[in-house]
């Protein structure tokens, strides 16, 4: 809802909520000893590694981009790589 309210556009792809931190710990975005919720933790403690994952229909990670906390994600790059992944899934080419 925040994206739609602030940017005027709905997100038209799946996003994952992780209130129990299972996914963040599974993919190494938080230390395993981080507990089971973000409750009682500081914003710094809750800061995950800023990572974009693209998971394919086969449930395998196709892309993992990690950014420093001070750096925003480059959506043009994410879209470029997503286009490449989709193209190379259909055709035997390299982009």
How many whole angstroms separate alpha carbon 93 and alpha carbon 87? 8
Cα 65 to the center of its chain, rounded Å? 8
Among 83, 75, 33, 32, CA closest to 50: 75
What pLDDT is attached to residue 72? 79
What pLDDT is attached to residue 1? 53
Indicate left, alpha or beta for 38 from its phi (over 0: left) and psi (-120 to 50: alpha).
alpha
Reading the block at residue 12, the tokens are 């038209």
Per-run averaged pLDDT (10 residues), the chain, 95 residues: 79 79 81 74 74 88 85 86 93 88
């Amino acid at each position: 809802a925040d994206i739609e309210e602030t940017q005027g556009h709905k997100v038209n792809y799946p996003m994952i909520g992780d209130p129990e931190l299972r996914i963040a710990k599974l993919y190494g975005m938080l230390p395993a000893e981080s507990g089971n919720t973000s409750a009682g933790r500081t914003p710094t403690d809750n800061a995950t590694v800023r990572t974009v994952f693209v998971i394919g229909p086969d449930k395998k990670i196709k892309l993992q981009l990690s950014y420093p906390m001070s750096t925003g994600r480059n959506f043009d790059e994410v879209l470029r790589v997503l286009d490449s992944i989709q193209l190379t899934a259909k055709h035997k080419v390299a982009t």
